[in-house]
Structure 1
């Protein structure tokens, strides 16, 4: 993917046409960068990432509708490309990015910042390829989001989690002083990113500090199945199954969500379809 001859498949995402044009012009100066597409909003970005599997994306944060951070939350961990955010955030937010090793370039776009970001991306992609590193992009961004929001998410005691799950079939999500109860029946799919899980329900992404193993223990095992190392789906939301090479699948969940099934976990879907 990132040897001396292969270029880095790159997607650029920004709701401002002038910003897209400027970024494309600046990135065209880098021989290693191959811009495979442009997106002007979050939904286009998600679809393009799933369709084209870029190695690298330059992603605007402040977009109407789904912003850049929303896009990251909705992309399956295993399909997450390397991310460089384009942002005009204040310093407190940039500090959170720095602490969690999240790359960014500041607006207005500066040549030296873009050069630094591209060079870092090349090194990181080469390192991932040579060391077969686990994809940590989503985990780092989720941790930065929590730092930006200045909220400390903690577990409720395990017996409280199990009581709620058993009695009401709800998942407890504690965010600072606020507690949200999410009905299991409304959860379409769940994506784990390190010590966090993103629960996608009714168009909203809820972030819970828990591992995928702990998450599985709370869920109804009859309808929730693990389909990838970091992904769980609610079987009731599957509307279409598209076979892929090498025994993998893409699952269509409702109208807008698409999740990849790995060979390791494909039997759960085969049994369900049978």
Structure 2
């Protein structure tokens, strides 16, 4: 069970997030707050594992709320915002994702899946700290490093290092790399939560790219961007993802 608090000065925004969370098993909403001071008191009392928190609130911003909480007890955070220019500071404060308003349903599910995985890793790490010596390295996240692709009656193993980008194909996904394509019986949303965010990043609701394959990006008038990969492939990045993409291309913090 992951315990969640929702923080936003707009009641309708809080209601919308809570309604979305109600559709997901293993999630308990332990509080909702309309301003920073109330959120700080509520987080101290309820100790949620995860907060959905608005960046722009009167009096005290969402980032200021997170910064006021000691790092060792600070909850994981998914930011709610209409802006994109806070990425580096946000990830320093353990924000694992952000959702642009109005919130897209598919992005909401993706962010919640990422939070579940991060919460599981955090619990694992804290359990290890309590039971093993300080010399023991904490476990690393178990991200996918290869894909099992069914070709007729055969199973082909495709290393993730050979994949340049991934696109949605209905309920499945297609891997592209080294001039070849492979149909994978897995949804793009599920894959996004299983891949190492240092290597792969979702840049569109239908596209994931390997970050080190991006050779060039060009901003578009609608705040989207056009990416050119090293093999010449052109991929569109939507404005929902551009802020994090630019941060990762610059070598900034990751979720």
Scaled by the length of structure 1, what TM-score is found? Answer: 0.43
TM-score using structure 2 length: 0.46
Q: Which one has the bigger helix percentage? A: 1
